[in-house]
A and B are shown apart, each in its own frame.
Chain A
Amino acid sequence: MQWETVIGLEIHAQLATKSKIFSGASIAYGAEPNTQACNVDLGMPGVLPVLNKEAVRMAVKFGLAIDAEVAPRSVFARKNYFYPDLPKGYQISQFELPIVGVGSITINLDDGESKVIGVTRAHLEEDAGKSLHEDFHGMTGIDLNRAGTPLLEIVSEPDMRSAVEAVAYAKKIHALVRYIEICDGNMAEGSFRCDANVSVRPKGQEKLGTRAELKNLNSFRFLEKAINLEVERQIDIIESGGEVVQETRLYDADRNETRSMRSKEEANDYRYFPDPDLLPVELDDVFINEMRQTLPELPDEKRQRFETDYSLSPQDAITLTSSRELANYYEAVVTAAQGDPKIAANWVNGELAAALNRDAVDITNSPVTAELLAGLLKRIADQTISGKIAKQVFEAMWQGEGDADAVIEAKGLKQITDSGAIEKMVDEVVANNPKQAEQYRSGKDKLFGFFVGQVMKQTKGKANPQQVNELLKKRLAQD
């Protein structure tokens, strides 16, 4: 039987506000336990929440960025359940009336296809604290620093059909929230968390299969792995005559497996009801338009512009706009180099991306700054060095050996463009390899490369390749 996978994602993006969503305490990461929890966060008797306006602004920006309806009136509700790191015994969230309604986002897949993924809603809520089980013998420590941290929960439609699509969607949302500067996107610190609802059904069947919710997917790689594992697990169950049960499953990255956390029967009845401590959030058009004005150029707009202004292929444009920092870097290179934007794109997506990846460096910390890279491209454009030598220069720049000119000078990498000198070497090479010259002339065209290689070897790659080609052709045509 042919199976179809159906995936919906719930993403929790931690909003990059200074203070908590309902109190004035800081949300900075990494503070000593319970030093960033005020009376409100501790759920002291008598305390009351006061909504952080900045969190509302950020949620609205997100809504506008995915072309969703921003609710003129949204309501905070209490989600009631007991847990030690949930100080009030309820989480303040939004239930029936979320701040962001239906929207959509287009994902681009590696095969060049694109697909529109529906976003059902996005709502504001507070995070819970953390339970620390490891540091205390037979006890549990509670750290409430995170309690009350503002989150935007972004819920997708079950529109994705593979782990690859799910990752593409998650990455797109990730890029977007960073573009509009509402979330730092740090997955390791938990600023951007994904839960996946996964089910399978026979291809062609309309009715959705029973889903499992996967949690603890704190990297894109784990998201992909966990979904694939889960799809396999569900197909195995059904094919061996069993039934998938609705449950929450936890992904264990160390063992690369998912295991059941709780079943539907054990699920809480959260007894949602409007929080009487908070007024409904009412937003008028003036405010919403004000927020619209603050939006930067969005990834899709930028991609379009890159294709048009820089004559880039869609694939190059997609890659370069995958993060705002990368796009900014690229544009800085183009501006400074004043050369062919396509060549700049090749370098950014090629050498630079490879080096960043190899050394796990973030683009904002790249030792080769946009200015340095532009300096290198200039030297290629004016033929001081060849593209091949340029890679050597780049590596030296990456190691901090100075700018392109300094490296070229220090290593004597300047290209040889003196026709006389090149001609002399060509003559020598042809004269020293009479056998190969003979074979070439009798039709073994492939040997041309051999002669180029010999000349380059003599000049340590510094000879201008075009000139070498021309002069060799001319020389070999003689006799």
Chain B
Amino acid sequence: MHNKSITELAAGLRAGEYSSVELTQYFLDRIQRLDGGLNSFVTVCSDEALSAAQAADQQLKSGGAGPLAGIPIAHKDIFCTEGIRTTCGSKMLESFISPYDATVVTRLKAAGVVNLGKTNMDEFAMGSSNETSYYGAVRNPWDTETVPGGSSGGSAACVAARLAPVATGTDTGGSIRQPAALCGITGLKPTYGRVSRYGMIAFASSLDQAGPMTTSAEDAAIMLQAMAGFDQRDSTSADQPVPDYSAGLEDDLTGLKIGLPKEYFGEGLDADVAKSVEEAIAEYKKLGAEVVEISLPNTHLAVPTYYVVAPAECSSNLSRFDGVRYGHRCEDPKDLEDLYKRSRAEGFGDEVKRRILIGTYALSAGYYDAYYLKAQQVRHLISDDFKRAFEQVDVIMGPTAPDTGFRIGEKANDPVSMYLSDIYTIAVNLAGLPGISIPVAPAAGKPTGLQIIGNYFAEAKLLNVAHRLQMATDYHKAAPANIE
């Protein structure tokens, strides 16, 4: 049951093989039984899930329900959910109950999904290993001694362990794609503006984007269909029609031009990961694609640029967590300054503090031009690299992450080495492009991912390209053997 795709589960619901309540209970039981060893959920909302499932069953009976009606999902704990605790992986929001639903949550609710709970994540989405969560590290279901990646590590782990058929995630510098790669699942970061950010707790507003985390491109298409679209509550959401993402999934790839950036295959890339990626690319050649080497000459500037822009924005975005209206407040503040200082010192973890400090510094008088402004200029150069590339090729491919899941604690005290986990994904956020990570052949026995980058709003093409590989291979069907 838990290895079924959304389409298969939806068919089962319609055929009356099981009800949504039964399906929901099935996954709740799995969570209960298996998540203790993974810690992929921060909050499981059984009661709400079962009553949503009941409603979905009614909807299914009366007909007219969409493909997601009655399907259990999990939300990354960065999406505000009315009446259900939203922690964002932080002590700061340990008891925060949102008074409203994020647009993504509203849309998926409208599609009839059943929310099983909220998944663990790096605190305020700042991290690449899920170790910065106040609620404890998430374990990679393939090897529980290793990290699942981050920041959407809980979503990636719960889908990989089949504790939920699908989950939502968010990606600011690779936070959907990198954990998807490390957990052997499919993760799509759409074009910036494709999915509304309203109700998604902001990390870096100009980079944040929500997307689906699934076991297949086919499921990702169904999820994106429900999530995408203009939202008048988000001025940066794109007022563009949403195409049918499932319609062209099986389109033929003959003549598809794949660009391989030479900068993505150089120093720092693990040899086994490289081999797995090359193997996948060879599959694409078999499917009729042409491969050309391209250059994205400013790739080496992506990580430093990101670590100015993202902290700068986060330093401002996280100012609202001040202990005044909601969230953690220190005991007995003696004055206003004490209230601010202690509430924030106690409420935020080290990585969040590190980034607030970096960002505050980068925006300070006298440093703004040298850091923030310069970073914005470099950001343009990076976008221009991609623009030029897409004049030659249809999609760009490379590894999602330079390495497979590393051991818990291995990089925890080496932020720069941790930041390099996102070396191939960050530029895509800086340029605002869509990217998808799909599982390929294991690298030395561990999951790894192929990243496919598309032009603006080319999600349908990405899903088509991803799905064709998943038609031709079974990499995406592999599930962790130690989890039944």
Contact = CB atoms under 8 A, between A and B. Distances in A.
Interface of A: 39, 42-51, 78, 80, 82, 84, 87-90, 142, 269, 271-273, 276-279
Given A50-B233, A80-B363, A44 B86 contact: no
A230 B166 CA distance: 67
A46 B198 contact: yes
Given A46-B199, A89-B322, A269-B364, A39 B100 contact: yes
20 contacts: A43-B320, A44-B80, A44-B98, A45-B80, A45-B88, A45-B93, A45-B202, A46-B201, A47-B199, A48-B233, A48-B235, A78-B316, A82-B322, A82-B340, A90-B319, A142-B324, A142-B325, A271-B316, A271-B365, A272-B363
Closest 3 CB pairs of A and B: A89-B319, A271-B363, A276-B205
Interface in B77-104: 79-80, 86, 88, 93, 96, 98-100, 102
Nearest to B339: A84
A51 B236 CA distance: 11
B180 interface: no
A39 B199 CA distance: 10
Interface string B61-82: 0000000000000000001100
Given A45-B96, A50-B235, 14 more contacts: A44-B98, A45-B98, A46-B80, A46-B198, A48-B198, A48-B233, A48-B236, A90-B319, A269-B365, A271-B360, A276-B204, A276-B313, A277-B205, A279-B235
Contact of B316 (A44, A49, A89): A89
Given A48-B197, A48-B234, A50-B235, A84 B368 contact: no
Contacts of B313: 276
Contacts of A42: 325
B372 interface: yes
Nearest to B337: A82
B206 interface: yes
* Max count, chain B CB within 10 A of own CB: residue among A42, A48, A49, A87: A48
B417 interface: no
B331 to A, nearest CB: 16
Nearest to B376: A274
Contact of B320 (A88, A272, A273): A88
A277 B201 contact: no
B325 to A, nearest CB: 6
Contact of A273 (B312, B324, B340): B312
* Max count, chain A CB within 10 A of own CB: residue among B198, B235, B318: B235
Interface in B185-223: 197-202, 204-206
Nearest to B79: A46
B232 interface: yes
B322 A276 contact: no
Contacts of A48: 197-198, 233-236
Contacts, number: 98
B336 interface: yes
Given A45-B201, A78-B316, A142-B324, A276 B98 contact: no
Interface string B353-370: 000000010011100100
A84 B336 CA distance: 8
Contacts of B99: 39, 44
Q: How large is the interface on B (under 10, 10 to 19, 20 to 34, 35 or more residues)?
A: 35 or more
A42 B327 CA distance: 13
B80 A276 contact: no
A276 B198 CA distance: 13
A273 B233 contact: no
Contacts of B326: 44-45
A78 B363 CA distance: 11
A278 B320 contact: no
Contacts of A51: 235
B328 to A, nearest CB: 13
A80 B362 CA distance: 13
A230 to B, nearest CB: 27
Nearest to A45: B201
Contacts of B365: 269, 271
A271 B364 contact: yes
A80 B205 CA distance: 16
Contacts of A278: 235-236
A39 B319 CA distance: 16
Nearest to A43: B320
Given A46-B200, A78-B316, A271-B316, A84 B324 contact: yes
B313 to A, nearest CB: 6
Nearest to B324: A84
A226 B202 CA distance: 44
A80 B80 contact: no
B422 to A, nearest CB: 19
A273 B372 contact: yes
A273 B235 contact: no
Contacts of A78: 316
Contact of B100 (A44, A49, A80): A44
A271 B313 CA distance: 11
Contacts of A271: 315-316, 360, 363-365, 368
A49 B235 CA distance: 7
Interface in B423-480: none
B363 A87 contact: no
A80 B361 CA distance: 13
A50 B236 CA distance: 9
Contact of A277 (B236, B321, B340, B368): B236
Contacts of A46: 79-80, 98, 102, 197-202
Contacts of B372: 273
Contacts of A45: 80, 86, 88, 93, 96, 98, 201-202, 320-321, 326
B102 A273 contact: no
A47 B79 CA distance: 11
A45 B82 CA distance: 12
B363 A273 contact: yes
A279 B236 contact: yes
B150 to A, nearest CB: 19
Contacts of B200: 46
B235 A87 contact: no
A39 B340 CA distance: 21
A319 to B, nearest CB: 46
B459 to A, nearest CB: 22
A279 B236 CA distance: 7
A50 B235 CA distance: 6
B256 to A, nearest CB: 34
